[in-house]
Amino acid sequence: MYGATNRAGIAFAKYLAGKGFNLILIDREMKGLKELEKALKELFKTNNPSIHLIELNQFDVDTLRACIIPIKDLPVKLFINCKNSKQNSQVPLRIRKRPFIN
């Protein structure tokens, strides 16, 4: 899931983890990814989803391929792009101060 730490990404991650999916979460900052991973694992202790984090500052085929080599054997059933193409419409920082999942 690309854009995992914005509102749509968090909602999709919560939904899919609740349904038993393992997740590959991709975003520009590792800090937000780690916060989301911690929140998901706490919320879904019984499901215990496998969560892989990828910090990706440049989204192109070569960079993505290099990042996913360590997890290349994982089956991927769905790719979700939650990243907004307009940089100035990102989630305000005040949203990040709240817990990722209620």
Can you give the pTM of this predicted structure?
A: 0.74
Question: In whole angstroms, what is the distance from residue 83 CA to residue 67 CA?
Answer: 18
- Answer whether residue 94 shows pLDDT above 80: no
- Rounded mean pLDDT of the chain? 80
- Answer whether residue 28 shows pLDDT above 70: yes
Q: What pLDDT does 12 receive?
A: 92
Q: How many CA atoms lie within 13 A of 38 on its CB side?
A: 8
Question: Taking phi first (over 0 means left), then psi (-120 to 50 degrees means alpha), and beta for anything else, what does residue 99 get?
Answer: beta
Domain boundaries, the chain: 7-97
Closest CA to 51 of 79, 67, 74, 28: 74
Task: For residue range 45-89, list pLDDT tens digits in order.
Answer: 887 888 999 998 877 778 878 888 888 787 777 788 887 755 444
pLDDT bracket for residue 13 (50, 70, 90): very high
